[in-house]
Structure 1
Amino acid sequence: MFKNVIVRKPSKTLCEGITSAPELGKPDYNLAIEQHKLYVEALKKCGVNIIELEALEEFPDSCFVEDTAVLTKKCAIVANPGISSRNKESLYIIDTLKKFYPKENIEYIKSPGTLEGGDVMMVGNHFYVGKSARTNKEGITQFISILEKYGLTGSEIALEEVLHLKTGINYIENNNMLVSGEFINKKEFERYNKIIIPQSESYAANCIYVNNTVIVPLGYPKVKESIENLGYNVICVDTSEFRKIDGGLSCLSLRF
């Protein structure tokens, strides 16, 4: 069960965020704020305590707070984002983490290692880590070493197409895993019950499980139906403005 969720308000500089899909246009700040509020409301319905941090105007992508840390039951691991415009975002999450973790249980990924939370997928006590343009081999080595210090485990997953691991695959508990694209046939995930996401709805592979509810991006009916057929309560939230800067549902929060 998740007890707490950390989110960060979108900055007014949001429209300058990193994007691989300029054809979608720039985000509308006011609409993004409204969508973010509805996202927070959806999380509240899942019975969690929300910690909402103020916007960081210096960092257009800083609402994607997931990339700044990985939070486990035993420790917090402060990430080291692998792109220069986001590299210092992690510094602004540390004070908040100190409210929930003893100082000695806050660990750090150090340069030349890079790691972003969007590349980490937790399945019980095991953490899959995507080797991507943002998370490098050294970062993964450090991350797994930290996990093992606390009796947890991790393994590397090579990425070929997506920005982050959780862009294309997400675990929704009960052995159920949403998979799309390159992850459909990866041998590392053979033992899970795979819910295959059609290419036309691939963005919706990024759903989040929170206390028996799955939050799904609005506008992807096939994915919504597939998850409902598994018996989950589903809440749909519009994230269209965040999609324009390569963001999804999981990117917008740290759940622990």
Structure 2
Amino acid sequence: MSDPTFEFRRAITRRPSASIVEGLRAQDIGTPDLDRMQQAHTAYVAALKRTGADVTELAPLEDFPDAVFVEDTTLCLPQGAILMHPGAPSRVGEVAEMATTVRGLYEDVRQIQGPGHIEGGDILVTAREILVGRSDRTDAAGVAELAEIAAEWGHSVREVFTPPGVLHFKTDCSLMDGETILATKRLDASGCFKGYRVLHVAEGEEPAANAIRFNNLVLMAAGFPRTAEMLNTAGYEVVEIDNTECAKLDGGMSCLSLRF
């Protein structure tokens, strides 16, 4: 039996635009290098395709500097897709840009109407529930509206809390399989993963927590050797992708694709 939490046939990505240098960031650690980001993006897409997935690559959106981070626009579930309502005002228009593509691939597409806000980077779908982290981008009203829609499709939503100073819930965690979560110790310490098998990223390698399990591969940011070794030892096939430029915009592996 397939596992819908990590076995995917399709993905949607978007090429970074030249305007990405204007992207949002919690702190300025440098301007992204567009050429290097595009090279990394090409490697990312190639890794997805290597698993046999059909990858839709959307054109850059100059009007939306953060549009490369497509995950925040939509939650993809087996029953249908839910268009989000981003908490960053400059990103709200990205949802309409994504909607046409999503509606072409899903029969049932719902939308978070607001006034609450919610972004895909705060949502972790496990084999038993949907965990949603409250953050600066996702509020209680957004979580409640998502829970109503998800309940119609038989999913239960559990609200948890993203650590202070961390942009999204999934900045600090990712799903390795239906019952296994890769997480930072600071997030796991909150107790939100009780009952799951939790793998901790190495001390000082916290950015490695934002990875994705995509079919047989785990895609993670390059430069975190102890975490990569731990995952390899645990039996996962790791592909390391240069995330240097996305990291300047608080982005990681999960942010760069919609997977379904």
TM-score scaled to structure 2, two decimals? 0.94
Residues 66-87 of structure 1: CA deviation (Å, up to 9, x unaligned): 0000000001000010011111
3-state secondary structure, aligned to 1:247: coil
Q: Does 1:6 align with 2:9?
A: no
CA distance change for structure 1 residues 181 and 125 in 2, over 3 Å: closer, same or farther? closer
Q: How does 1:6-25 map to 2 (within 5 A)?
A: 6-22=12-28, 24-25=29-30
Q: How does 1:189-204 map to 2 (within 5 A)?
A: 189-204=193-208
Amino acid at match of 2:51: C
Q: How does 1:81-96 map to 2 (within 5 A)?
A: 81-96=86-101
Amino acid at match of 2:33: D
The residue that corresponds to 2:216 in the other structure is: 212
Residues 173-230 of structure 1: CA deviation (Å, up to 9, x unaligned): 0522111143122223121221111341100000100112111111110110111111
3-state secondary structure, aligned to 1:87: helix
Rounded to whole Å, the distance in 2 between the matches of 1:116 and 1:86 is 10
Match of 2:48 among 35, 43, 51: 43
Counting matched residue pairs gives 253
3-state secondary structure, aligned to 1:98: helix
Residues 122-161 of structure 1: CA deviation (Å, up to 9, x unaligned): 1025110011110111100000110001111111011232
3-state secondary structure, aligned to 1:152: coil
Rounded to whole Å, the distance in 2 between the matches of 1:212 and 1:186 is 30
Preserved contact between residue 42 and residue 237 of structure 1 (Cα < 8 Å): no
Q: How does 1:59-70 map to 2 (within 5 A)?
A: 59-70=64-75
Rounded to whole Å, the distance in 2 between the matches of 1:141 and 1:182 is 25
Greater alpha carbon shift after TM alignment, 62-71 vs 30-39: 30-39
Unaligned runs of 5+ in 1: none
Rounded to whole Å, the distance in 2 between the matches of 1:174 and 1:120 is 14
Amino acid at match of 2:17: S
The residue that corresponds to 2:161 in the other structure is: 158
Aligned-pair identity in percent equals 35
Preserved contact between residue 8 and residue 65 of structure 1 (Cα < 8 Å): yes
Q: Does 1:168 align with 2:182?
A: no
3-state secondary structure, aligned to 1:134: coil
Moved over 3 A (4+): none
Unaligned runs of 5+ in 2: 1-6
Q: Does 1:253 align with 2:231?
A: no
Preserved contact between residue 217 and residue 237 of structure 1 (Cα < 8 Å): yes
Q: Does 1:110 align with 2:116?
A: no
3-state secondary structure, aligned to 1:93: helix
Shift of 1:21: 2.9
Preserved contact between residue 217 and residue 236 of structure 1 (Cα < 8 Å): yes
Amino acid at match of 1:197: V
The residue that corresponds to 2:142 in the other structure is: 139
Residues 44-85 of structure 1: CA deviation (Å, up to 9, x unaligned): 112211000111100110000000000000010000100111
Amino acid at match of 2:131: Y
3-state secondary structure, aligned to 1:186: coil
Preserved contact between residue 211 and residue 219 of structure 2 (Cα < 8 Å): yes
